[in-house]
């Protein structure tokens, strides 16, 4: 990866984003209002509402519109007004995308996907170039739409990628700090803690390697807890010495009290749910989301990066308020496993399904909301297709990773078809 090539890719990505913003002045506001990009917990319009209240010394959670982390408010209050000088906000989002791409480069160039401490893939030579992985992320239409639409999900994406990058570099402390920021912003990244701890443990520098995995894990958990405590303490002070912000931010995700449509599976289900069963099914849905962490971490202990990638794919399907920014994060991690692509069986079907849902999703939403010729089933049906496409990719990658591992254990089965009876 040459410095000139990297500068060219980054410059092209920045020019494309700025060109779309300048050539189509109404595009940022249009994308900001799309349910595929903005959710109640990541919407830039809702952030502007909270920022207006914050700048006028009113509690930002009054009115029940703003549901995001309190510390985002002082950050955005430093920027000039988005109506007068939108370029500064656009530049901030572009810089965050570049930071995410940098972390992806580091992850790809480490070769961790093909060769970890406990597992070496026979196909590891087919490794994706770091610059190619970064370019695939920066020029992904989902990433571009999230950036121009100014979804705050990109801050979570950046923090998650830096957590993985720092873990691979052997800096467990910085990895846990980055994960704490991601968890503070969106809550769900805390579920990535077990595989991230294992990845950090495996990539420790030999000079200061901790022998006990339990002691190392306890240290990482303590760092994460302290950092989260500090962030929540700062939020407590910022919101007028009140802990009520917890129910307005994380409580919204836990209880799904805002049923604004999105590309996920929760909103329609709970619109139709009787109130007497609501608490039970909320617990079931959250348990289902968290249940994958332990099983995947234990089964794929030798490949913690694969666990992190699969979990990001699962979260983009089953979290309460998903958006295309979550899908773009999973798709950004997918090229790291280029060496197992030949083992994947349903790539074409999954890709076609995602494209089908991408193009028909906005049309079905328009038929429901604006044309009045459809109902909520129109849009929910296409979100089910979207989730199906992602599910195919996640399960296919899981099969490929397990098949690759199995062929190392059973060399005599290389190239042979396997059927479960």
pLDDT digits (tens, 9 = 90+) for 129-168: 889 999 999 999 999 999 999 999 999 999 999 999 999 9
Check pLDDT > 70 for residue 420: no
Q: Is residue 101 part of a domain?
A: yes
Domain count of the chain?
A: 1
Q: Is residue 393 part of a domain?
A: yes
Check pLDDT > 80 for residue 413: no
CB 300 within 8 A of CB 113: no
User: Which one is predicted more confidently, 392 or 2?
Assistant: 392
Query: Distance between CA 187 and CA 169 in Å, rounded?
Result: 24
42: tokens are 């990541």
pLDDT at 329: 95
pLDDT at 264: 92
**68-99: per-residue pLDDT in tens?**
999 999 999 998 988 888 899 999 999 999 99
Query: Distance between CA 400 and CA 350 in Å, rounded?
Result: 14
Q: Is residue 113 part of a domain?
A: yes
DSSP classification of residue 320: S
Q: Which domain holds residue 147?
A: 3-413
Torsion over CA: 412, 418, 420, 421 (sign):
negative
CB 170 within 8 A of CB 196: no
Query: Distance between CA 72 and CA 42 in Å, rounded?
Result: 11
Q: Is residue 419 part of a domain?
A: no
Element of type H or E holding 54: helix 44-55
CB 97 within 8 A of CB 155: no
140: tokens are 């992904």
Q: Is residue 421 part of a domain?
A: no
Assign 240 a pLDDT band (cuts: 50, 70, 90): confident
Q: Is residue 420 part of a domain?
A: no
DSSP classification of residue 334: G
Assign 419 a pLDDT band (cuts: 50, 70, 90): low
Percent of the chain exceeding pLDDT 70 equals 99
- Bridge-partner residues for 115, per DSSP? 120
Q: Is residue 77 part of a domain?
A: yes
Report the Cα 242 to chain-centroid distance in Å.
Answer: 29
Q: Is residue 418 part of a domain?
A: no
Best CA proximity match to 108, nearest among 139, 140, 130:
130
- Please tell me whether the overall predicted TM-score, pTM, comes out greater than 0.85 for this model: yes
Listed range (11-20, 177-186, 329-338, 370-379) with the worst mean pLDDT: 370-379
Assign 421 a pLDDT band (cuts: 50, 70, 90): low
**58-74: per-residue pLDDT in tens?**
889 988 899 999 999 99
Assign 1 a pLDDT band (cuts: 50, 70, 90): low
């Amino acid at each position: 990866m040459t410095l000139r090539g990297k500068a060219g890719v980054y410059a092209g990505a920045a020019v494309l984003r700025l060109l779309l913003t300048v050539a189509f002045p109404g595009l940022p506001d249009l994308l900001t209002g799309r349910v595929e990009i903005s959710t109640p917990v990541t919407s830039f319009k809702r952030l502007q509402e909270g920022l207006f209240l914050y700048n006028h010394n009113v509690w930002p959670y009054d009115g029940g519109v703003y549901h995001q982390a309190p510390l985002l408010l002082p950050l955005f209050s430093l920027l000039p007004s988005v109506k007068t000088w939108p370029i500064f906000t656009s530049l901030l989002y572009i810089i965050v995308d570049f930071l995410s791409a940098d972390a992806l480069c580091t992850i790809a160039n480490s070769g961790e996907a093909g060769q970890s401490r406990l597992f070496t893939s026979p196909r590891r030579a087919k490794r994706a170039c770091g610059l190619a992985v970064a370019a695939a992320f920066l020029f992904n239409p989902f990433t571009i739409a999230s950036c121009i639409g100014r979804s705050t999900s990109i801050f979570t994406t950046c923090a998650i990628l830096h957590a993985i990058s720092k873990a691979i570099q052997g800096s467990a402390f910085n990895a846990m700090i980055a994960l704490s920021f991601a968890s503070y912003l969106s809550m769900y990244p805390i579920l990535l803690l077990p595989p991230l701890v294992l990845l950090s443990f495996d990539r420790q520098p030999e000079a200061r390697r901790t022998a006990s995995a339990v002691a190392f894990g306890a240290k990482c958990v303590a760092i994460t807890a302290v950092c989260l405590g500090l962030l929540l303490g700062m939020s407590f002070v910022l919101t007028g010495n009140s802990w009520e912000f917890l129910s307005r931010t994380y409580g919204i995700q836990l209880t799904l009290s805002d049923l604004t449509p999105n590309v996920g599976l929760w909103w329609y289900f709970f619109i139709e749910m009787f109130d007497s069963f609501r608490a039970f099914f909320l617990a079931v849905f959250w348990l289902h989301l968290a249940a994958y962490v332990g099983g995947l971490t234990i089964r794929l202990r030798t490949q913690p990066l694969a666990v992190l990638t699969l979990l990001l794919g699962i979260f983009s399907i089953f979290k309460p308020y998903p958006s295309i920014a979550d899908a773009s994060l999973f798709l950004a991690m997918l090229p790291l496993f280029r060496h197992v692509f030949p083992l994947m069986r349903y790539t074409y079907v999954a890709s076609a399904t995602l494209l089908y849902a991408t193009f028909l999703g906005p049309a079905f939403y328009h038929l429901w909301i604006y044309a009045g010729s459809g109902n909520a089933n129109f849009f929910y049906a296409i979100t089910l297709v979207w989730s199906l496409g992602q599910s195919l990719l996640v399960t296919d990658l899981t099969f490929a990773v397990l098949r690759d591992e199995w062929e190392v254990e059973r060399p005599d089965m290389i190239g042979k078809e396997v059927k479960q009876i």
